[in-house]
Structure 1
């Protein structure tokens, strides 16, 4: 089995400026049929006072490097649960789940954290910024927790890229909701991750601010060639991804969005 470093080389995305070279690199990655994420017969159940509840049932999924994929579904369908499983933040009940070619079931919590370190970024609905840290310190945090060099200039450059060069020393409470989410996006991309998970990234924002944040998220994702998995209730946001996967009664149904081309996951129903 390949080492984490080798896997990162396979999926890491050079070129942050949208150059032709970066575009060619992304095309080559999309032709690589090895999935960056793979689930087989994934099942998640929880115990309740009235018995066992099945949230996800015999779910199959493949996501390849360079894709953008939206996961949609009604409230309570299990979208955030699925995202947490795919990211190794939660554990499955049955089935197989692999991230970067490594079985998550074979790793303990620390092992899953090491696998994510420097390779996976997150953008959450409620921003998840540490309130006592400045914008710059929040963006630096993933670098400090990974094997990456702690580069203040690099973090500052990412804040500039999201239009917050004048907010570097501001605390989260001194920022608007849209500004806090832009800090979160800079934090997600600062390590040049292979994969970014976004859980309702515009859910706490008004439509105009949400549209600007979405524009920024997809622009950075396109320029970086990062694989993007978005959980959302917003059909307009989902339509910007290459594929939309609808979670219904614990299973996924797929729609290829007209503007993009991508590969269908084995076992997903097409609609």
Structure 2
């Protein structure tokens, strides 16, 4: 799946750059316990204009996700899966419709307000890892804590690297780590703030099958232990089968979908 137009690319860098504004905006976003659903999208649409042509990527799309639920979104390359994930995370804004996250209508929040709402409550796992190349593994995991009220909890970041099997690699930069190790760092970064919701965009897409299977096991083990809500985009039916619910994005809308059973010879969108 192409990533040059991925609305979530460079998210970590952008959120880091806005950390000063996030801290003040966070004061305006209450952190009270919210009732289910964690996320509710109502008749979302996304259109983009190129020259005189308007392309409709999503239209009349609705989705509710309950606390603790895991949801897989499948679809062919170019179907708009990453665009949808960016909208659901509040990283992009819809052309029409309303999205509520943790009980807050995102249309009522500006960019800083949306970032403040995510801080400490939302984690991300990306296909291309999105680690900052000049930072060590420990510093990459620490970054979300610095953007939350838990700044400076170095020991917490260290413990999460130990949990993903990288306790001895804390000082290594991404270029010194394998793809599987980089994704383990990314998973530790996603869970380090004890988030309520984790978004994963093709988390095994750049990994070989054996490494990908290990990452799947790790992701779902940590997610189950934490009771986190998980929304993931994938073309991998084996990964989708691990989720509570599967949906397919087709013609700009989500429809219920049953992944191919194991050993069926199918499994890629």
TM-score range, shorter chain: 0.7 to 0.9
Q: What is the match of residue 212 of structure 1?
A: 214
Shift of the alpha carbon at 1:149? 3.7
Q: Deviations along 1:99-120, whole A, 9 cap, x unmatched?
A: 0010111111101000000000
Correspondences of 1:147-166 after superposition (within 5 Å): 147-166=149-168
Q: What is the match of residue 90 of structure 2?
A: 88
Q: Is the 8 A contact 1:84 1:90 kept in 2?
A: yes
TM-score by length of 1: 0.83
Which residue of 194, 197, 205 corresponds with 2:196? 194
Give ranges in structure 2 of 5+ residues lacking alignment. Answer: 1-27, 261-269
Shift of the alpha carbon at 1:50? 4.9
* Alignment RMSD (CA, Å): 1.7
SS in 1 for 2:100: strand
Q: Deviations along 1:90-141, whole A, 9 cap, x unmatched?
A: 0100011110010111111101000000000000000000001000000000
Q: State the number of aligned residues.
A: 234
Which residue of 180, 183, 188 corresponds with 1:181? 183
SS in 2 for 1:42: strand
Q: Deviations along 1:194-226, whole A, 9 cap, x unmatched?
A: 000000000000000000001000000000000
CA distance in 1, matches of 2:259, 2:120: 30
Shift of the alpha carbon at 1:255? 3.6
SS in 2 for 1:54: strand
Q: Is the 8 A contact 1:242 1:256 kept in 2?
A: no
Shift of the alpha carbon at 1:49? 3.1
Q: Is the 8 A contact 2:158 2:167 kept in 1?
A: yes
CA distance in 2, matches of 1:165, 1:3: 35
Shift of the alpha carbon at 1:256? 6.8
CA distance in 2, matches of 1:227, 1:256: 20
Shift of the alpha carbon at 1:145? 1.0
Correspondences of 1:187-266 after superposition (within 5 Å): 187-255=189-257
CA distance in 2, matches of 1:139, 1:58: 37
Correspondences of 1:46-195 after superposition (within 5 Å): 46-195=48-197
Runs of 4+ in 1 over 4 A off after TM superposition: none
Q: Is the 8 A contact 2:123 2:189 kept in 1?
A: yes
Q: Deviations along 1:162-198, whole A, 9 cap, x unmatched?
A: 0001101100000000000000000000000000000
Give ranges in structure 1 of 5+ residues lacking alignment. Answer: 11-31, 259-271
